[in-house]
Structures are given as C-alpha cells and as structure tokens.
Amino acid sequence: MKSYDGYSYIEGGVCAAKGFMANGLNCGLNPDKNKNDLCLVKSDALCSCAAVYTKNKVKGAPILVTKENLRKTNNHARAVIANSKNANTCNADGIEKAQMMCDLAANELKISPDEVIVASTGVIGQVLPIEPVKNSIGELAKGLSHSGNLLAANAIMTTDTVKKEVAVEFYIGNTVCHIGGMAKGSGMIHPNMATTLNFITSDVCISSDMIQKALSKITRITYNCLSIDGDTSTNDMVCILANGMSKNPEIASENDDYRVFEKGLYIVMSELTKMLAKDGEGATKLLECTVSSAPSEDIAITVGKSVIRSPLFKCAMFGEDANWGRILCAIGYAEADFDINRVDVALRSYNGTVDVCKNGAGVDFSEEIAAKILSADEIYIDISLNQGMAHGTAWGCDLTYDYVKINGDYRS
C-alpha cells in the first residue's frame, strides 16, 4: 500500500469511506450499451455537505437545483445522482428535469428529495429525456453496493479515456478515517471555480462550515490551477459529503484535527487534478508547472496558470520542442507584479533536467538532450521568480491534432 506522510492510498474511490455505496449503469442516454451513463452514490447517514460551482454565467439546471437543495437542508445531503451524455443546460424544462431526477432517486432511497445532489454532463442545449432515468432508477438503486465505485466512476465519463478515482486512509487521533473521490473531465476545462464533475466522500465527522472552508481552500490550489483548453464549462461542480461514521470528535474549528482532514482532502483533490490533466482531450503529455521563490502564492499561481494555458507553449510540448521563449512570453503577460529579469526556467522529466533560461535570458543548452527530456509523457516546468518564498503549481496537457478531431464532431 503506497503511503504519503501518514496517509495511505487505498482502493474504493467514493466507496472507500464507511457507509457509502454506489452504482452505475447504462440507462439509454448513451446509445453505446457498453458505456454507463447514470450513477448513484448514497450514504447510510446524513452528511455534512459542501460544494463549489462554475463561475460561468450560463449554469446547468442541475447546479441550480443542487444549490437550492443545499440551502433548504442547511448544507446536508444523503445521495448524489448524476448522468453523462446530456448536460441538461439551456433547456426550458431543465430545472423540472433535474428536480425529477432528485425525486426519482429520493423515492427509491426513501429520503427527502432535498437531500439529493444532482449533476449532469455532456452536450449543452439538448433536451434531457427523463424516461430512461425513470425506467432505470429502480435497478440503479437496487444495485447499490460498497464495491460499486468503478461502475459509478465510469458512468460520469464523456470523452474521458480512463476512469478517475483516488482514496486515502489516515488517522485523526486514534480514529481511522477515509476520504475518497471520483472525477470526470477531458475537455472544456479551465480554472474558474473547479472543473468538470467531482464527487468526494468521507467518513470524518466535520461540521458543514468547516468542510466548506476546506473545500474552498483546496479547490483554489488544485482544480482552479488546471487548464486543458481555456473553456469553463457550464456544469462544473465539486461536492463533498462527510457522514461522520468514523466517530471521531466533530471538527468544528480550525484545530489540529481540521488540518489533518484538510491535508487528506488536498491529497485526494490534487491527485484527481493530475488525472484530469493527463487525460485532456487528445493529450499525450501531462504538464506540471511549479513556480517557486515568488512574492506571494497568488503571484505564483497566476504565473503557473498563464504558462499552462498558453496554446503556443502547449503545442511546443506536443512537438517536443524546447521553445522556452513561449514560456517567457506566457510568464510576461501574466497579470502579476514581479521582475521578469530575475526569472529562471528549467524543463524536467524522468529523462533529466535542462536549464533554458537564467535571469530572464536564454542560456546555452543541448537541443538533443532537451528533446529527449520532452519525449517523456510527464513534463515538469520549473520556474523560479527569485523574488520571495511563496510557491504554486498548475497542471495541464499538450495541445494535439486529436483535440481538434474530438471537438470537431463532439455531438455525434
């Protein structure tokens, strides 16, 4: 079992925490019967819940319904129902359909519809047929199990090529606790809240105020630092449910227990962020840009995001071309205050490291060695501003021919 500073990675995704079950199936929204398109996650106990949503002015109907449900329950929930293939966005009957999904799930689970989180992903502007959901909800609920995480993770995939889930086990005092999550996303991803659909579960006992504080903070330095193509989706959502079944003393303030929980949440969300970046539409390389010695964390993050979202830089990485001028260009137009003449840049992978820029100017390096470094499938861009002690990291992927192919016929 791989460990990280007291946190052990475990199997189970959204079912890793005590008291959570999940399931997924093909209800008919996706004509490919081999692909799941509807999932359900359920907790045995009422959960403290927190969420963050897209900042796009156009918001999917499921987001509006979810926000209202959490308002009614004072940020508590018991279940999540989500579908792929259809975003249920920009439709006159969208809210009605999203509410019907909550009602259908609640009826099967014998809970209040207000305790259901609803989410959708897929094509925007197409009416969501509710009949497939209605016809399959009984089977979906009946099939809930403590090992149904993979079925659920597969059900939220759209152009994703792999499922994305991670979970960790750790201790709060003498109590064994867990946090697990699943995510979907491959395109229409840009840091502006979070990205895609992300569902996280935990058995930690924590108040809704503290879980919202942790989620908002960790979102800022994980999902908000991710960019695939510069497009902010209409349906982006990250939600976390914690049912308290680990029986630790409730976390109601920013004490040592809170910090243990927050670190576990960071591990889960940062791992999911990297998975999302690596599976960008058409991607062949994961790009990770770390900015160190910055005047502030905000400046470090701003610079890192500026580099990661540069189309020219992303193309250069696809071509395995150490065109470091594109990196300096992206650093230079970042909306942050620093001295560009003190900036150092290096490119790194498991094939080695090459310095390409010192004090804002190019240095001699071997193009052959640089090409070998960039031939790896994970590339690290190390930027030192040499103007402070803060640091930040952003994630993305290269820009390839296949990205255009995928998005040229996305609706088909």
Q: Encode pLDDT of 278-336 as tens digits.
A: 887 778 999 999 999 999 999 999 999 999 999 999 999 999 999 999 999 999 999 99
Percent of the chain with pLDDT over 70: 94
pLDDT digits (tens, 9 = 90+) for 135-169: 999 999 999 999 999 999 999 988 788 899 999 99
Distance CA 11, CA 16 (A): 7
Can you tell me the mean pLDDT for 238-264?
A: 97
**Domain interval for residue 334:** 286-408
Among the candidates 246, 278, 310, a domain finishes at 278
Pairing label, strands 378-384, 286-294: parallel
> Alpha carbon 158 to chain centroid distance?
14
Q: In angstroms, rounded to a whole number, what is the distance separating the alpha carbons of residues 297 and 122?
A: 34
Domain boundary residue among 254, 278, 302?
Answer: 278
> Where is 393: in which H helix or E strand?
strand 390-397
Least confident of 129-133, 228-232, 249-253: 228-232
Dihedral sign computed on CA atoms, order 185, 188, 189, 195: negative
Same domain, 96 and 204: yes
Q: Is 195 a catalytic residue?
A: yes
Q: Among 226, 250, 278, where does a domain finish? A: 278
Better pLDDT: 223 or 147:
147
Catalytic residue among 54, 195, 201, 219: 195
Q: d(Cα 32, Cα 189) in Å, to the nearest integer?
A: 25
Q: Give the contacts of 301 (CB within 8 A, at least 6 positions apart).
A: 220, 221, 224, 225, 291, 392, 394
Q: Mark whether 248 and 376 lie in a shared domain.
A: no
Q: How many structural domains are present in the chain?
A: 2
Residues 6+ apart with CB under 8 A from 303: 291, 294, 331, 334, 336, 338, 383, 385, 392
* Measured CA distances, 182 to 207, 209, 255, 272, 362 (Å): 22, 23, 27, 7, 42
Same domain, 244 and 369: no
pLDDT at residue 407 is higher than 80: no
Q: Is the pLDDT of residue 193 over 80?
A: no
363: number of Cβ within 10 Å: 14
Mean pLDDT across the chain:
92
- pLDDT tier for residue 205 given thresholds of 50, 70 and 90: very high
Q: How confident is the model at residue 386 (pLDDT cuts 50, 70, 90)?
A: very high
* pTM metric for this prediction: 0.89
How far is the C-alpha of 61 from the C-alpha of 67, rounded, in Å?
10
**What pLDDT, on a 0 to 100 scale, did the predictor assign at position 348?**
97
Structure tokens at 358: 């010192």
Question: Are 383 and 236 members of one domain?
Answer: no
Calculate mean pLDDT across residues 108-134: 95
My answer on whether 192 and 95 are in the same domain is: yes
Same domain for 182 and 311, yes or no, is: no
Residue 127 and residue 11 share a domain? yes
Task: Tell me, yes or no, whether 206 and 314 share the same domain.
Answer: no
DSSP 109-120: HTS-GGGEEEEE
| CATH code (residue 326) | 3.10.20.340
In this prediction, residue 405 has a pLDDT band, given cuts at 50, 70 and 90, of: confident
Q: Are residues 377 and 231 in the same domain?
A: no
Residues 18, 107, single domain; the answer is yes
Pick from 168, 225, 245, 232: nearest CA to 200:
168
In this predicted structure, what is the pLDDT of residue 356? Answer: 97
- What CA–CA distance (Å, rounded) separates 198 from 176? 24
